[in-house]
Homo-oligomer: A and B are copies of this chain.
């Protein structure tokens, strides 16, 4: 292994460390409630050092959001493009999404959902490129469900109501208390889909 490759690997690890820790802190305390010093402390750096990896605190926020989208998109795309029946496809997407927003260490998308307003318009536009792809996946599935007679509505509001029901879980779900992810997905399917005649 070359020395240069080792250095790059270390750099990537430190950057990844910062993103993971920042995601957790942003989720717990919010973007404005988290300081650069909190983040630096949590990875064992001095307070000025995160700026060696990121130009600004805002850039960390945008990178956290993009990291979450890049990690979540392939799974979601595979489910929607797959050959499952609409009902099973919905269950799988809901289940995968719950994992994305509720599982231990999965703090990236919750930050996107609830600190979106903290992004400057320019960075918002950048993250939107990926976010739009994620939303489009859901929109496509909503249409498929509607055509299959499984959903009462088509359109954007239908998608937003569904995603809201799922995303809101970030504010109430606590691991080990009450329903687990499978049960919540099951219940969403039962509540929102009608059995196709």
Contact = CB atoms under 8 A, between A and B. Distances in A.
A30 B34 CA distance: 13
Contacts of A178: 156-157
A80 to B, nearest CB: 20
Interface in A130-188: 151-153, 156-158, 160-169, 171-172, 178-179, 183-184, 187-188
A165 to B, nearest CB: 4
Interface in A23-55: 28-30, 32-33
A114 B172 CA distance: 12
A160 B153 contact: no
A90 to B, nearest CB: 13
Contact of A114 (B28, B114, B157, B191): B114
A58 to B, nearest CB: 13
Could you say how many copies of this chain the assembly holds?
Answer: 2
Main secondary structure of the interface of A (DSSP, over half): helix
B194 A194 contact: yes
A153 B113 contact: no
B179 A157 contact: yes
Contact of A165 (B116, B164, B179): B164
Contacts of A116: 171
A158 B171 contact: no
A30 B116 CA distance: 11
Nearest to A189: B152
Nearest to A184: B157
A157 B172 CA distance: 10
9 contacts: A114-B114, A152-B190, A157-B178, A157-B183, A157-B187, A161-B166, A161-B188, A164-B171, A192-B192
